[in-house]
Amino acid sequence: MLRFENISKRFGKHVLFEGLHFTTGAGCVALCDETGSGKSILLGILAGEIDADKGEVWLGGHSLRSAPIEAKSALAYIPDDCMAYSGLTGRTYLDHVAASRNTVVGAQTLDLAHRFGLAPHLEKQFEQMSFGTRKKFFLTATTVGAPAAIIADDPAGSTCPRVPCWPICSNSWPWTARSFSRVPIPRW
């Protein structure tokens, strides 16, 4: 599902991480470390949003370097800031995700949108939504199609506590949490 080898990133002379490698199949993996350790940078690299200085990433068996369209179509990515599509409405964003995965927005996705209380926000642009509402749209989009990998940067951050995020890991979804691993970023 997700594999990366020899991932390295530096900013000037500061080495953020070097030589990271990991392989996982189905299941949930959590990247746990303190604030400022580089988790969001690493997740952005794994999602193909940030360039690594070195290394290779595979999503659903496709290389981000040699087959980026296929790799990204196998991915559902929830960034920390969720403002990449500020001009799109919630509905347009879900349709955009569906088109990128060669499918349509189905009943399961719309059901989750309603359970998250997103119905009144479907026609609003992302720039008009709260951070938590934008995050819920990205969470909802993970149910579009059948992504082989889901990369989520603080997926429940700033979502309303009245609407729990736990249902997305229940057995009723196309992907389930079969295993859970905590993967700390090594200190160099």
- Predicted local confidence at residue 85, as pLDDT: 77
Domain extents in the chain: 2-183
| Calpha distance 48→52 (Å, rounded) | 9
Residue 180 pLDDT > 90, yes or no? no
| Calpha distance 66→151 (Å, rounded) | 20
Which 8-state DSSP code applies to residue 153? S
Task: Please write the tens of the pLDDT for every residue from 20-35.
Answer: 998 887 666 777 777 7
Task: Please write the tens of the pLDDT for every residue from 112-146.
Answer: 999 999 999 999 999 999 988 988 898 899 899 88
CATH of domain 2-183: 3.40.50.300
Supply φ then ψ for residue 6, to 5 degrees: 60, 35
Q: What is the pTM of this model?
A: 0.73
- Predicted local confidence at residue 98, as pLDDT: 92
Q: What is the chain's Cα-based Rg?
A: 16
